Structure 1
Amino acid sequence: MQLLAQDGPVPHTLAPTRPRFGERVIDAISRDPLTVPHRTRNDAFIAAAFGALSLALALLVDHGRRPDALGWVLLAGSVVPLVWRRAYPGPVLLAVVACVGPYHALDNTHAAPVPASLLALYTVAVTARPLYTFFVGCLVIGVTLTIMFNVGTHEGLESLRTSGWILAVLVCGVDVRTYRRYIASVVGRAERAERTREEEAARRVAEERLRIARDLHDLLAHSITLIGVQTSVASHVLSVDPDRLDRAAIAKALDDIAETCRTARGELRTTLEVLRADGPDCDGPLPDLAALPQLVRTAGAELNLRTGDAPLTPAVAAAAYRIVQESLTNAVRHGGSGVRITVTVVRDGDALRVEVTDDGNAPAPVHGSGFGILGMRERARSVGGTLAAGPRGDVPGFEVAATLPLQPSEAAV
């Protein structure tokens, strides 16, 4: 409260404004009468108001035809059902007609039950289908004219002259019903559009999570596998002949471990930068084919890289890099010590061909999780390419071959 006093009063433009009378009327017209809250209570007040109007018409119009006791009962019977007019529009109209018909046949004040009758007709028109409303209107006009002509020719002609009011009420009800259906369709389309936007946002979030999961899998699996192999090399040098320590081999293994850690740290920071909404700009793009020589050298593989002078799209380059990275990880993990790996990345017409082969000198098969090959296939499909992985048929070893299509403007060399 003290803060509000210091800041001053709330500006008038920020204070909640009460809807204007016209806006409340339009809102009441736009709402579905069958779903509006407190409709029975509101209809009870409306019925009371129409009852008072009917009473005034019965007392003030045509003093020579004031209702008798039965007429008053019938007049009341034509007003009371209006309490449930929106809940049961058809039965309420039948009840009103059942009371109004004998009331007019007894030649009471004919103007008194007109408001209640027109309200019951309007309720049917605004809630029922137009064809149903048309038949109801014809039936009501026919019954009214029949009764009034039986009362007298003058009364019948007067009813025929004023039957246009019945048609006007029915047309008004159908028009309001059409307007409400239009508003409902607009609101429905807006809700569907909102749901579509939410589903699209959820889909994008899921795709981004999957992409980050694939990147983390490729990065961490490759780095940890290489660190494990290089650590095994250093341990082997130390344990085979401790008296003749090969310091150069141990230093090279440790340098490779440090280089792998630095590379993994940089890629991990770049990959996770997208998760920091308020973080600084990324240090750079994710590794592409320019980083392949360092990646292949660290794994001790041979590289044949021919991509031409035309640049590749970032999506194709990133997919090729990750496929090579995961293939090297699997070869180092499953190929055993001394495995020979060959990496070939060449532009072949309108596609980029990626092949990673090894000689498969593993002493025993090592079973993995199976997500590596699945992730490589997903990366190839993400750019419209294909990937095949399996044992080499003619010689021992394993082969991964991917074909990644290029854009037509980039395919020419």
Structure 2
Amino acid sequence: MNLVQATLIDARPGPGRRIRAALGFAPRDTLRQDASLAAALAVVASVLAAADLGSGRHPDALGWTLLLSAHVPLVWRRRAPMAVLCVAIALLATYHQLDFNHSAPTAASMAALYTVAETRNLRRTLPIGAGVIGLMVVLKLNDGMAGVAESMRITGWVIAMLVIGSYLRVHRENVAAAVERAERAERTREEEARRRVAEERLRIARDLHDLLAHSITLIGVQTSVAAHVLAADPTRLDREAVAKALDDIAETCRTARGEIRTTLEVLRDGDHASPDTRGPLPGLHGLPDLAVTARAAGAKVELTVRAGDPPPAVGAAAYRIVQEALTNAVRHGGRDDLSVRVSVDELDGALRVRVTDDGTGAAAATPGFGLVGMRERARSVGGTVQAGPRADGEGFEVTAQLPLEGAA
């Protein structure tokens, strides 16, 4: 059971609300409900007064007027509780002073007190209750011991109404606060879920871009090599070179198919996917394979790795950055004897990745998702990427600083 379900159970309608719903009252029709309550209490008071139940004399015309008039303000008890209490006290104090039936108006006075306690905080309720009790004691001073006994009885009722009203007010506030906390927690979970979905979509988009851009570029270059060999001298066909180019294309397709399959498995599994379904993250150990495939595409690649075993996330970021840099160099190099130097060094608690080429086309290429993806990958581990033409104007350079400490 989650927090929202538990809160809804705590906040389910009570018996009073269910009874009001059965009688046809709307949830917010408070005026109609209070008018019905005032009428019911007036009927009860009239029965008690007419039957002479309790102490005091039978009401005359003035007594009936005061008794019934004291119930009228209860119609607005939740809209103006203090005003209703003051009017009711004024009418009932006069009624009691004339020694009419003292039991008849008890329910009306208790309803007014309960409403004040339910709608006011404790610091404001206590002085009101003390004032009502003090007024009642003053009115009963002339009755001797009987007045004292009556005062004790009424004091108990007053305190009971104040306690019940205050308790229900606190309970209602706690339920409202719990509902608000539950809704806020639910919104937080939904926002977190949306953020995770967005991050996962971005990660998959980066992986697909890096994979497809790299693979398609290599396939295009290898296909061009095979076509060149076939068209160069048909009478002296270099079957070995053609076979090697086709084997390289087939190997590139197999590698791309495997990585695409892994990505699709993550997408199919959805919320049930575990980190294991992604397979092992690529890392520095995969850089020699990238160099081999780039060499197969015709580039001269010099790879230097002077680093230990970094955290998996840092190693994966370095791998993808080198992969994208090599892909851009092969695609935009613009020369047959392209040379690319790749160096990975560990320095001052960070992994420094540097990829430079002496091509002519990368500097003029239109920026695309590749550079954006490299920067996002570096940012995901707290690093940075700088990419642009070399200082001497010959070729392109990509430099990344990837911190080793605190990387996820």
TM band (smaller chain): 0.7 to 0.9
1:79-94 superposed matches below 5 A = 79-94=71-86
The TM-score, its normalising length taken from structure 2, stands at: 0.79
Q: Please say if 1:125 is aligned against 2:117.
A: yes
1:12-411 superposed matches below 5 A = 24=14, 39-40=30-31, 42-58=33-49, 59-62=51-54, 65-144=57-136, 152-154=142-144, 160-162=151-153, 164-165=155-156, 166-239=158-231, 245-277=237-269, 282=277, 284-300=279-295, 301-307=300-306, 311-338=309-336, 339-348=338-347, 350-362=349-361, 365-369=364-368, 371-407=369-405
Check 1:279–1:105 CA distance in 2 against 1; reply closer, same or farther (3 A cut). closer
Give the length in aligned residue pairs. 378
Q: Deviations over 1:158-211 (max 9, x none)?
A: 665445232442233223323332333333333333332332222222222221
Counterpart of 1:386 in structure 2: which amino acid?
A: T
Q: Work out the CA distance in 1 between the residues paired with 2:87 and 2:56.
A: 27
Q: Is the 1:293–1:303 contact (alpha carbons within 8 Å) kept by the matching residues of 2?
A: no
Q: Is the 2:215–2:256 contact (alpha carbons within 8 Å) kept by the matching residues of 1?
A: yes
Deviates more, 1:211-220 or 1:282-291: 282-291
Give 1:110 deviation, angstroms: 2.0
Give 1:214 deviation, angstroms: 1.2
Q: Deviations over 1:340-395 (max 9, x none)?
A: 212222344633322111102229822132x3222212212222333222221135
Give 1:248 deviation, angstroms: 4.1
Q: Is the 2:52–2:101 contact (alpha carbons within 8 Å) kept by the matching residues of 1?
A: no
Q: Work out the CA distance in 2 between the residues paired with 1:320 and 1:179.
A: 57
Q: Is the 1:267–1:287 contact (alpha carbons within 8 Å) kept by the matching residues of 2?
A: no
Check 1:64–1:246 CA distance in 2 against 1; reply closer, same or farther (3 A cut). closer
Q: Is the 1:323–1:376 contact (alpha carbons within 8 Å) kept by the matching residues of 2?
A: yes
Counterpart of 2:88 in structure 1: which amino acid?
A: V
Give 1:261 deviation, angstroms: 1.4
The percentage of aligned residue pairs carrying the same residue is 56
Give 1:7's aligned residue: none
Give 1:398 deviation, angstroms: 0.9
Q: Work out the CA distance in 1 between the residues paired with 2:233 and 2:188.
A: 68
- Determine helix, strand or coil for the equivalent of 1:394: coil
Q: Work out the CA distance in 2 between the residues paired with 1:363 and 1:123.
A: 79
- Determine helix, strand or coil for the equivalent of 2:356: strand
Gaps of 5+ in 2: 1-8, 19-25
- Determine helix, strand or coil for the equivalent of 1:285: coil
Counterpart of 1:183 in structure 2: which amino acid?
A: V
Counterpart of 1:331 in structure 2: which amino acid?
A: A
Q: Work out the CA distance in 1 between the residues paired with 2:216 and 2:121.
A: 71
- Determine helix, strand or coil for the equivalent of 2:70: helix
Give 1:259 deviation, angstroms: 1.9
Counterpart of 1:50 in structure 2: which amino acid?
A: L
Q: Is the 1:104–1:148 contact (alpha carbons within 8 Å) kept by the matching residues of 2?
A: no
Give 1:122 deviation, angstroms: 0.8
Give 1:47 deviation, angstroms: 3.5
Q: Deviations over 1:13-52 (max 9, x none)?
A: xxxxxx9xxx946999xxxxxx965545554554344334
Give 1:121 deviation, angstroms: 0.7
Check 1:276–1:97 CA distance in 2 against 1; reply closer, same or farther (3 A cut). same
Gaps of 5+ in 1: 1-18, 29-34, 409-413
- Determine helix, strand or coil for the equivalent of 1:190: helix
Q: Is the 2:217–2:330 contact (alpha carbons within 8 Å) kept by the matching residues of 1?
A: yes
The TM-score, its normalising length taken from structure 1, stands at: 0.78
RMSD: 3.5
Check 1:62–1:367 CA distance in 2 against 1; reply closer, same or farther (3 A cut). closer
